[in-house]
């Protein structure tokens, strides 16, 4: 059976339930690698080679894609373009998503200038900040220039821009109040860069990005390597 028919006959539910969170977290990686393969004019790829490019085991890759109804074609592998399209559709990347950023300091500016958003289906549609030196500043966001609006305009900006996703890049002590206002304005998906845990009602999805925590995790592994090598060094010196 052709891969396209296998996929179309085994669609997952529109709300995404039934797919493990760990699998969802790996789908963007698969999509990025597949797009890179397509750019290199690769039309088909085996599960072993695709798994190697994605940094996972072949068994994990096949299990992840089986949640989408994709089992590949024996002796052929995966159709790169079609699988990429299917994953992008399940990730909601077949339509642009408006993103509003609250907090346009150094981190906020870096996020606005990142060119990868547009190519992956996201458009920065609003910028907000409370600092008088920042409010009114014109910032280049992709192919458009946005003016940083004052916090008093948050609800208006969310409503007028049809923002679906909000990014919080404020200090920790301001994040919860900003979150509450975003939720009240209708935002149901939030990416939080503030170093604090946000409290949100049921139905609101929050993803937290804490660079310090990630560095601490790396430091943990570095320390384990040092601890593992220390006894060997002591033996060699004895």
**pLDDT tens per residue across span 118-174:** 777 889 999 999 999 999 999 988 778 899 999 999 999 999 998 999 999 999 999
In the chain, which segments carry CATH 3.40.50.720?
Answer: 97-212
Identify the burial level of 70 via C-beta atoms within 10 angstroms of its C-beta, where 0-12 means exposed, 13-18 middle and 19 or more buried: buried
**85-113 confidence digits (pLDDT tens):** 888 888 877 778 899 999 999 999 999 98
In the chain, which segments carry CATH 1.10.10.10?
Answer: 3-90
Which CATH number does the domain 97-212 belong to among 3.40.50.720, 3.20.20.100, 3.40.1030.10, 3.40.50.300?
A: 3.40.50.720
Domain 3-90 is of which CATH architecture? Answer: Orthogonal Bundle (1.10)
Helix (H) or strand (E) holding 183: helix 172-184
Question: 88: helix, coil or strand?
Answer: helix
34: nearest Cα among 66, 1, 5, 77: 77
pTM above 0.85, yes or no: no
Distance CA 7, CA 112 (A): 36
Strand spans (E) along 143-183: 144-147, 149-150, 165-168
């Amino acid at each position: 059976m052709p891969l396209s028919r296998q996929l179309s006959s085994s669609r997952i539910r529109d709300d995404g339930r039934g797919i493990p969170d760990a699998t969802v977290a790996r789908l963007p990686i698969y999509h990025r690698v597949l797009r890179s393969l397509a750019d290199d004019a690769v039309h088909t790829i085996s599960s072993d080679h695709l798994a190697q490019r994605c940094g996972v085991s072949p068994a994990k890759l096949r299990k992840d894609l089986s949640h989408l109804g994709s089992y590949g074609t024996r002796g052929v592998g995966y159709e790169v373009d079609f699988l990429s399209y299917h994953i992008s559709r399940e990730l909601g990347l077949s339509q642009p998503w408006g993103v509003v950023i609250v907090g346009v300091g150094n981190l906020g500016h870096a996020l606005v200038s990142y060119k990868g958003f547009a190519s992956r289906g996201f458009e920065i549609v609003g910028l907000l900040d409370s600092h008088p030196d920042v409010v009114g500043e014109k910032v280049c966001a992709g192919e458009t220039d946005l003016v940083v609006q004052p916090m008093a305009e948050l609800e208006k900006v969310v409503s007028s821009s049809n923002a679906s996703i909000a990014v919080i890049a404020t200090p920790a002590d301001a994040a919860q109040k900003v979150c509450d206002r975003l939720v009240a304005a209708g935002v149901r998906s939030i990416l939080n860069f503030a170093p604090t845990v946000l409290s949100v009602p049921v139905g609101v999805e929050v993803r937290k990005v804490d660079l310090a925590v990630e560095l601490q995790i790396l430091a943990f592994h570095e320390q384990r390597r040092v601890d593992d090598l220390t006894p060997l060094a002591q033996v060699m010196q004895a």
